[in-house]
Structure 1
């Protein structure tokens, strides 16, 4: 199928396209890891022709689904020209809370389980798709904030990727691994906020500028 009209990484997803991507996630949560365009079209009440027009092919659909899920993780609103310690902490906490909320959701757990299974069996490129459009894309979304904070003299580091990986580890701890392995861990909103604040405090203790 032609892919000329497939959704690009920086294109806005329309409400109707969002409904289709939510349908994909629903199917994954239900354990239907062998996704077909027919199954998605049936669940989303649309034609396969529309799916091919919007997403190009099955991998294009899966890529858009991963981006759709990862887009929920944001670093808050911050202004490079007026970035201070309070604004930095607030933005990092917003990112941490969003990320914990997303990775602990049933949809993310299902998507990651399928991606891991496919990566191990060589059945598809879903593992690569999730890595590129999930973890790596989220890192590129937060690094500008870290670099702006360094320019403002709020934190110090030599390598943005290393700093991000440290932050990522402090936020996630063992939560994602436990969920992927079937642990019944349930994080309340209050617990997520508290964990986000703790992770940011630890990160700033490690990377904060000491006068």
Structure 2
């Protein structure tokens, strides 16, 4: 009989996943302090040394649980490559992130408690989905700020909304808080009307070409070179 597939550290894939799910369940029901190697081993039907063989230590186990959280969230994301309303698409993505955090408070806190979580493959995949939304906003002339700043604002407001909501007593959790934070994000990140009415690079080039005399960031030589490039793009329309 062929042996079961194994992870890079030598543990069977099924066993590793069972341990991660047991740890995630403990985390959800009893909090982070309950996720001890002994408790997880018992829940998964293993001996504690197996946890160390699979994950190295408790930190390695928690890292795997966080990755599991990112993967779960990623699976829940709906990607529309051509949404009818770019702003509503942004709102829907923000709402989904906040709803996931409110439904999984302990897991969400673990996922975003360490800066190193940004190395997660699932986190990176989720960021690509977000950046896709932001690029569509930019291409449609609806992005008010740079793409990187937009991503930071969207993330910061979503995390802030979740963590603030969870920190409040239940009787003080006003739904208006989430709505106002979301709409503040939308106002900060997007233009109410497209900055460029004509879709495509030619229209964007014409709009930028028209505003060049109003800015002073570029030197005269840089403006001259950029003007040549923009003229070429604009003439393709």
TM-score bucket of the superposed structures, by smaller chain: 0.5 to 0.7
* Structure 1 pair 85–33 and aligned structure 2 pair: CA distance change class (3 A): same
Higher relative contact order (CA 8 A, sep 6+): 1
Q: Equivalents in 2 of 1:129, 1:6: separation in Å?
A: 24
Normalized against structure 1, the TM-score is what? Answer: 0.59
In the alignment, is the contact (CA less than 8 A) between 1:96 and 1:171 conserved in 2? Answer: yes
Q: Does 1:164 align with 2:151?
A: yes
Q: Equivalents in 2 of 1:128, 1:197: separation in Å?
A: 24
Partner in structure 1 of residue 96 of structure 2: 98
- Secondary structure in structure 2 of the residue aligned to 1:77: coil
- In the alignment, which of 77, 80, 86 is matched to residue 78 of structure 1? 80
- Secondary structure in structure 1 of the residue aligned to 2:79: coil
Structure 1 runs not aligned, ≥5 long: 8-13, 117-125
Q: Does 1:127 align with 2:114?
A: yes
**Which has the larger Rg?**
2
Q: Equivalents in 2 of 1:15, 1:95: separation in Å?
A: 32
Q: Equivalents in 2 of 1:57, 1:157: separation in Å?
A: 45
Q: Equivalents in 1 of 2:16, 2:34: separation in Å?
A: 21
In the alignment, is the contact (CA less than 8 A) between 1:6 and 1:60 conserved in 2? Answer: no
> After superposition, what is the alpha-carbon deviation per residue over 1:68-103, rounded to whole angstroms, capped at 9, x for unaligned?
222343452222xxx3542x3454344222211221
Structure 2 runs not aligned, ≥5 long: 1-6, 198-237
Normalized against structure 2, the TM-score is what? Answer: 0.54
